[in-house]
Structure formats: C-alpha cells, structure tokens
Structure 1
Amino acid sequence: MDDQAHAARAMWNQLHNLWQMTPKCQRSLSRMDQTLRQARKEIDWYAVLPAQAAQAVLKTYMQAWKNCWDGRAEEPTFKARIRSVMSVDIPQGRDLQIKRVHRRWGMANIPKVGRVRFRWTRDLPVGKAADKENRITGARLVKDALGWHIAFRVQTLELKPEPHTGLEVGIDAGVNLPLALSDSNHQDHGRAPRLPDGTADRDKLLNPDEKAKLLRLEQRAAHRKSFRKPRERNANRLRTTYDQIKQLRARATRRAVDWQHQTTTSLARTYGTVVVEALTITNMVKSARGTVEEPGKNVRAKSGLNRAISQEAWGRTVTMLTYKTARFGGTLHKVPAPNTSRRCSACGLIAPGSREDQATFVCKNPDCGWEGNADHNAARNILHLYRMGHALIPAAGRAVARRTRGVKPTTAR
C-alpha cells in the first residue's frame, strides 16, 4: 500500500507538470488520459498502482481544477513526499468483497494487495442488506502516523428531513472555551487550555502520562539532532523518535475530531437554527513577526495564540455544523464578526477596555455594569445580529455548489 500511495503521488505530480507545460488551447481530459495510459506502459513502477486507481488520480486532479475555477479551493500544487498525505482510491465497490468476520472486525480485498482486516466501527450495506439504493460504491485508503485507515463511500437513499422546530442559538468559537452558546449550554472538551505559567497548552487532548512521554521524546529528539551535521540526513534513531512524536500528535488530533463530531451532532439535533461568525481564520493566524525595519510586538504570545486557534479547528467545526444541520432539517447562518466581542449584549454599548482579560467581559456603561464570560457575551451578540436581519447571504456560485453536492455520505473508518 505504501508503494501504491507513492506511485499515486508521483502520478499526480507528473500530471501537474504536464498540465503546466501544455498550452491552454490544448488542455483536455482526453489528452491527459492518453498520456497517462502511455506512461503506465513505459514506466515499470507504475504497474504497482491498479489501473482504476490511476484513473481516480486523473479524475481527482481535474476535479481540483474545477473546484479552483468555481472559487471553492486554491490551485492544485506539487505534492511533496514529506508533507503530503499518503492515500489510494478504490473507485469500484465490487472489488472490495467486504465480509464481516465478527462484531469488531471485517475483511476487505485491496487490489494488488490482498485480503486485509479492518476495525468495524459502524454498519455497512453488505450481503443481503445491499441493493441498488443502498450499497458501497468505493473506498479510500489513508495513512497517518497511527497506520493505514479505510473510509468507505456509501450510496444510500435518505428521505428529505422535516423542518427542525428547535430553538435558535448563537455560537462563538474561542480558545479558552471551545464553543460558547448563547443559552449558556457551553461545550468544552474538559482539558485545561492554559498552563500554570499562562502559555497555551499545545497538547490539551493528551493525558498527563502522554504529555510526560511527549516531553521526553522531544528532549530526546533535540539531543540527537544536536549531533547531526549540516545537510546531513537524519539518523535512524532520530527518525524513530520523530515517528513516535507523530503518533502522539495524531492521537490528540483524532480525539479532537471525535469530540467535534459528537458535539456538532448533538447541537444539530438540539437546535433548529445555528448562527456562527463569518471568520477569516487565515488572517487571524498570521504571524506578528513583522520585518527587519518594523519588527512586531509580542511575537511569542501571538505565536502561541495562532497555534491555539489552529488546534481548535474552527473551520472544521463550521463545516460539520453545515451538513449536519441540513441532515436534521435545521439551518446554519453566518453573521459579520466585527464588534461581536466588544459589544455589551445587555445594553448594546461598544466601549474600549471592556475586555479586562481574555475570559471576562465588563460593561463600561454605569447604568448597566453587566459582567460575565466574554465568549458567552459574544455568542449572545451573534444571535442578536441574526435576529436583527444581519445574516450573510453566500455567493451565488457557492450556494449552487453546496446544493448540488447534497448531504455528505456516511463513512466508516
């Protein structure tokens, strides 16, 4: 599977080079397909990748350009060996030959690999349960620091959900409090986001033993790295230490994604209308280092804040809420972000200095004096903007694209 993933990555890069070298008037899917077939005949190590998986690479590359032209993504780029996620597509579901061994494990056939077993985490339409309207259409193999995983593509017929009659809620995404709700039903993952010295905790989803192990591994890696000469390859022991660090990081990421899935599902079931801020996260996590002529201030503190924002993955939370609210018959709206954290939700006053610290909001109006959690105050302001009719309308092209994509298919990992 490693060989197939590397072959798929190399094929993507060669398709990208061919696309850039070909004049715009001669670019076409048929030309790319013909070149791909010829390359499989002339390059021996391409044979390790099944023909259908190679065609899937071409389709994925062309879809990436369509997403770019529609404004949904950036341009496709070169896939580096270190920074790229190793993955292989299995576009035909009939090739998998899935069989359930017992309650916890199942077996699947991987082309040019053989029979492998996978952890059975949710029901799949196999055997008598499979028909034309409910069946497995393919899968994707993905590798991370914890090993290989398989995600099945399931085609199923879902009835149009009834309109959700739940309450309205405003949600503010934060660092100290991951999700603050306007009705005080805040969602927290139960880990302290700050260390005793006030700095951000990068590993808040790891238990104390795992944090201690991670600290030992980082110290060991730093010690072994000190013996490496400039432009010299990492030693095997240093690479092994790096792999162990990646495993702990991947475990924390998996726990964060699991918490997001459970939390967003609960919110989509409970509330009929969910309102969030329209945040530009890429601008929020820009470095404050500045230039040589004009160096930035509080660079270290801003770096820790950027790292904490990236770990909370606010964009992924909004994406989950978008399709889950639609699945349960609800709606998700976005409102402008300016002044939601500075405005008093009780009297409406916007005054400087109301945020005495990161977690507390104190109204400067002598007749009001409201005091409370800053994220809770922002969540109430977000809901207020929606009720006042300030919800943003998405662009026409993106709105059409979201409607045509439909409900996100269920996957088993």
Structure 2
Amino acid sequence: MLKRRRGHKARLCLTPAQAAMAEEQGHAARALWNLVHDWWTMLPRERRSLAAADEAIRQGRKDLPWLGALPAQAAQAVLKTYFQAWKNCWGGRAQAPQFKGRFRCRMAIDIPQGRDLQIVRLNRRWGRMWVPKVGHVRFRWTRDLPVGRHADGASRVSGARLVKEADGWHVVFRVQREVPEPEPHPGPTVGIDRGITRPLALSDGTFRDHGPWLTEGEAKRLRRLEKTKDRRRHAREPGEKDSRRLTRTYDQIAQLRATAKRRAVDWQHKTTTEIAETFARVGVEDLAVTSMVKSARGTVEAPGRHVRQKAGLNRAIAEEAWGRTVTMLEYKTTDRGGIVVKVPSANTSRRCSACGVITPGSRENQARFVCKNPGCRFEANADTNAGRNIEHAAGQAVSGRGDLGTAGL
C-alpha cells in the first residue's frame, strides 16, 4: 500500500460577514509574513532561529491587537511556510522570500490541523466545514473526501488552506489516502512535442488542440477593459490612490483572466488524463521554460532586438502553461503505473525521425518537415517529427531499475 497525498480545491460560499472576517485574516497573515521577513533579514545570522522567530510572533500578537484576527495555529503556519521558503532557497529550488505587496499577492489562510475542519456532507452538492474565527461555512462538494466513517489513520484530510482568487474564496484540502501500488501499465510509449500553434503533437501523428479560452465577446470585453484601465491609470497623478472605478476595472479584468485559466486547466486535466490512461511511458522535452520566456529588452548598453515580437511569443508560451501540463502528466502516469521521461531538447525539431540525420533546410516552414538526405526524403508534420524523435529518446531511457524500453515498468 502507498500513501498518496493530493490537494482538492473547492469553492466556498461565504456570507458577506464571513467574507469580511476572512479578508481580515488574510491581510493579517500577509502582514505577519512581512513582519517576520523584516525581523529575519535585520537580525545577524547567528541570532536567527525558528525558536526565536516563534517567540517574536507570540510577542507581536500581544503588542499588536490587530494580529489577533489571525488564529494562533494559522500564525504558526505562516512561520513554517516562511522558514520552508528559506530552505527551498538554500537548496537552490527557489528564490529568496520577498516582501508581499497588498495587491501583488494572493490572500491565503492556513488551517494546519484536519481535525479542526469538522467536515460534514450536507447533500449531493454541498458540504460544510469549520473555519476558526469565521464559523461554519459551506463549500461545493465535487469529490468524496475521507471524512466521518470513511476516515482512518491512513486516509484522512490532514489540513486545508483558504485562498482568495478573482472569482471568490476557495478551500484547498490536503487529502491523504492509502492506495494499492499500481500495476505496470501495459500501454505503448509516446513522445509529445509542446508548441503554440498545435499545443500537443504526439508521435503517433495525432494532436491535442483547443480553441480560444475566451469567447469572441469576452475577448472584446477584455480588450475594452484593458484600454479603460490604461486611460484611468494615466489620468492619475504619481502616488495618487487608485479610484474606485479603476479598482473595479482591475477586478473585472482579473475575473475574465480567471475564467480563461479555469478553462485552460480543465482542458489540461482532461487531456493529460486521457494520455496517462493510454500510454505507459510519455516522453517530453526537458525545457527551461522560465529561461525561454525572459524578455529580449536587454540593457541600455546592449539593447535587444525584436522586443515586441519576443514579448508576444512569451505571452503565448505562458498561456499554454507547458510546465503545468508536465506536472499533471507526471503524477497521473505514476498513479496508473506509467512514467514520464524528460529527454534533452537539442535538435529534436531538426533531426529526421526516419534516418536520424540532421540536414540544413529540412524544416521548410513552421509546419512541414522534409528530410534533405538523398537516401531518405522523409516527409511529415514538423511537430509530429519532433514527437517521434522524443519518443525514440524516451524509449532508450534507463532508470535505476534497469531498461524501461519494452515490457512495462
């Protein structure tokens, strides 16, 4: 048996009074993070410790009454999250923690103990949970949770986090389940080339496409709101507080972008589930997406070229969320007994998948590949050819358990 930890996100239904109390806690949690950050960075290294920070938080809650809006356990969770951020930085997995601006960060409130949630299912569509200092709140029941008689020491809800997004408050449950170890997947190997014109091109010649995330009317409304935002921003004096109309415009833009993101995530979930159920091994390129979307602006001494074109390409890559697609594939294939293999991305689009030779000019355009090797003359869609190269590289991968090439894992 394996212990599987997953997150489950559900929409909260808060009354206006509960929403106000939740926002008060969210602001207190953000302010506490900033206070801990200032305290940590100003102290000498030899005086920094988790115990000293915990004592500083306790004293701060006594000296600053408005910090009392945040429950004590949620305050301790802020400290643990901050300390973990530094550990990730020291391990080279993330950048150093930064100051959290009021309008640049998402409100979040931790409920570390699952027993405090008191989750109850009310009917087919709704459940109820307890939020400290807010009370009982309802949430959309879209997936069965290990609560009540379905919970035990191995399968349970270990905690939750409340987050505020553009479309309202949500709760993310931390769910732990005990499941049997999956059997090796009997399916074939596939290579996937990620792109913009064709989001996912598989080595078997098929594609996984999607339409625009916003309808034509929604896209027009978004462009109109963006113009309104720019006009109202330029009308402000430097340092002047945002007007209510400008703030409302910001909220409307955020709601439309949140709608587009929900549709994108829904498509990614459905597509990656279908791929994980069909194939035993999935090969993808090992891309440094963060480096790919860097600006081409350059510096004053060495200004960049084609800056606007590169900015458009960066936006298109960010909208496809290639990293999120791979993350979904990794845990879904693992749950089904499969594996995701990351292969080097060098020359996957330039090499002929039939003869393995790289010849100049083989990629005639963005969509067509024609091998210039006189003995080959292989023709295919350029993305499909790249997917075949990725499949070949993934099929030769070897793990610590030996060759994964043919008969499963």
TM class by smaller structure = 0.7 to 0.9
Partner of 2:175 in structure 1? 154
Q: Are residue 8 (structure 1) and residue 16 (structure 2) matched?
A: no
* Secondary structure class of the residue paired with 1:356: coil
Aligned with 1:74 (options 95, 100, 118): 95
1:337 Cα deviation after fit: 0.7
Q: Are residue 251 (structure 1) and residue 259 (structure 2) matched?
A: yes
> Is this contact kept in 2: 1:333–1:392, CA < 8 A?
no
How far apart in 2 are the matches of 1:225 and 1:69?
39
Q: Are residue 311 (structure 1) and residue 319 (structure 2) matched?
A: yes
* Secondary structure class of the residue paired with 1:34: helix
1:268 Cα deviation after fit: 1.5
Q: Are residue 187 (structure 1) and residue 208 (structure 2) matched?
A: yes
Bigger Cα displacement from structure 2, 55-64 vs 226-235: 226-235
How far apart in 2 are the matches of 1:106 and 1:299?
50
Partner of 1:354 in structure 2? 362
Alignment of 1:11-410 (within 5 A): 11-189=32-210, 191=211, 204-389=212-397
Residues 296 and 68 of structure 1: is their aligned pair in 2 closer, same or farther, counting only changes over 3 Å?
A: closer
* Secondary structure class of the residue paired with 1:319: helix
1:50 Cα deviation after fit: 0.3
1:207 Cα deviation after fit: 1.3
1:331 Cα deviation after fit: 1.2
> Is this contact kept in 2: 1:336–1:392, CA < 8 A?
no
Report the residue type matching 2:91 in the other structure: D
How far apart in 1 are the matches of 2:185 and 2:354?
28
TM-score under structure 1 length normalisation:
0.87
> Is this contact kept in 2: 1:170–1:380, CA < 8 A?
yes
How far apart in 2 are the matches of 1:175 and 1:100?
42
How far apart in 2 are the matches of 1:377 and 1:392?
25
Which whole-Å deviations, capped at 9, do the CAs of 1:211-240 have from their partners, x for residues lacking one? 122122223333333432333222211211
> Is this contact kept in 2: 1:205–1:256, CA < 8 A?
yes
Residues 293 and 58 of structure 1: is their aligned pair in 2 closer, same or farther, counting only changes over 3 Å?
A: closer
Residues 210 and 392 of structure 1: is their aligned pair in 2 closer, same or farther, counting only changes over 3 Å?
A: farther
Q: How many matched pairs?
A: 379
TM-score under structure 2 length normalisation:
0.88
Bigger Cα displacement from structure 2, 77-86 vs 287-296: 287-296
Which whole-Å deviations, capped at 9, do the CAs of 1:311-339 have from their partners, x for residues lacking one? 11111111122222211111111111111
1:392 Cα deviation after fit: 9.3
> Is this contact kept in 2: 1:182–1:376, CA < 8 A?
yes
CA RMSD, Structure 1 to Structure 2 (Å): 1.8
> Is this contact kept in 1: 2:282–2:394, CA < 8 A?
no
1:296 Cα deviation after fit: 2.6
Residues 166 and 62 of structure 1: is their aligned pair in 2 closer, same or farther, counting only changes over 3 Å?
A: same
How far apart in 2 are the matches of 1:35 and 1:378?
56
> Is this contact kept in 2: 1:335–1:392, CA < 8 A?
no
1:133 Cα deviation after fit: 2.2
Structure 2 unpaired stretches of 5+? 1-21, 401-409
How far apart in 2 are the matches of 1:164 and 1:374?
29
> Is this contact kept in 1: 2:74–2:111, CA < 8 A?
yes
How far apart in 2 are the matches of 1:241 and 1:341?
43
The share of aligned pairs that are identical, in percent, is 61
